[in-house]
Amino acid sequence: MNKQTKIAVLGGGSWATAIVKMLSENLATIGWYMRSAYAVEHLKRNKHNPNYLSSAEFNTEQLDLSDDMNYIVENYDLLIFAIPSAFLNSELEKLTASLKDKIIFSAIKGIVPETGLIVGEHFHQTFDIPYENIGVLTGPCHAEEVAMERLSYLTIACQDQEKAQFLSKCIASRYIKTKISDDIVGTEYAAMLKNIYAIAAGIAHGLGYGDNFQAVLMSNGIREMKRFIKKVHKMKRNINDSAYLGDLLVTGYSTFSRNRMFGNMIGKGYTVKSAMLEMSMVAEGYYATKSAFEINQKNGAKTPIIEAVYNVLYDKKEAKDEFLKLTDKLN
């Protein structure tokens, strides 16, 4: 890893936009793949993403913008994927350029629905990327606060600590603090699970539960997360670190959280389809709930919150009834 290592971001949403903004504080050139040719041309002319974080203005001389994923993959060494997990597989089907010898960092907080794998595992199994070339970029961090340059913290995880340190330095700035970790599996599962707990928090709010219950829900959520992750990847980790507990809290409580917003609509009586249409954004936790539930059918961790959310979203059970049952399972 050196100054000649070229970095690109793949994705056109709010989190991809925030990552490009962070990188632009330190890099002369950033590759940026957006599938929308309109968004690319708009950015070139008007210096901001037309659809997400439009308040974030870019120096377009720093940006190598393209709606051709193969061009970006061919010309850049370290690729940060920030495409919603529900669309990742279909986007990667466009790929003819080789990912061999590329360094892949996932900023995707979800499970690939077609394979039921977290993103790192998906790249390893589908594209034969060695784990030392795979990393995770995770919070606690909301894209909207990055756009406003509010102090935020990120964790960069990779088995190869040199690669984690390199990306950490490329992202750190006066308003971004970073730390590194070697727990790529645990941090990625945590980023996926916290979206489910945020949906639970939203459902509870929509049903009229107050702050006292929310505190108990989040307290139980972090313990449930610990049990789940321990089953899928046992290693020494402090679940109270920012990448786990911090990310859970910001997603569960923040008004910026799309998963909490989605859950709030469900709690108020919206159907899944109507809530998604009204949001016009992807709630990663919806897809994560099904995957987490199925994974845990094999592992057997105690996960009453995941089960309650699954029953509401997929078995179409009444949220009011499921959360009333859930209240007796929490402590």
pLDDT score of 109: 85
Instruction: Give the H/E segment covering residue 157.
Output: strand 152-158
DSSP codes, 21-75: HHHHTT-S-EEEE-S-HHHHHHHHHHSS-SSS-TT----GGGEEEES-HHHHHHH
Beta bridge partners of 178: 154
How big is the CA angle at 38 (ends 32 and 41), to the nearest 5 degrees? Answer: 65
pLDDT score of 122: 94
Ranges of the chain with pLDDT below 50: none
* pLDDT tens digits for range 271-282: 999 998 888 777
- The annotation places the binding site for NAD(+) at 87, 143, 258
Task: Compute the distance between CA of residue 110 and CA of residue 195 in angstroms, rounded to an integer.
Answer: 8
Q: Which of 21, 102, 163, 194 is catalytic?
A: 194
* pLDDT tens digits for range 62-112: 999 999 999 999 999 999 999 988 899 999 999 999 999 999 999 998 889
| Measured CA distances, 267 to 161, 206, 320 (Å) | 42, 4, 8
Q: Could you confirm whether 236 is annotated as catalytic?
A: no
- List domains and CATH numbers for the chain: 7-182 (3.40.50.720), 186-330 (1.10.1040.10)
pLDDT score of 1: 67
**Among 312, 237, 222, 323, CA closest to 275:** 312
- The annotation places the binding site at 87, 109, 143, 258-259
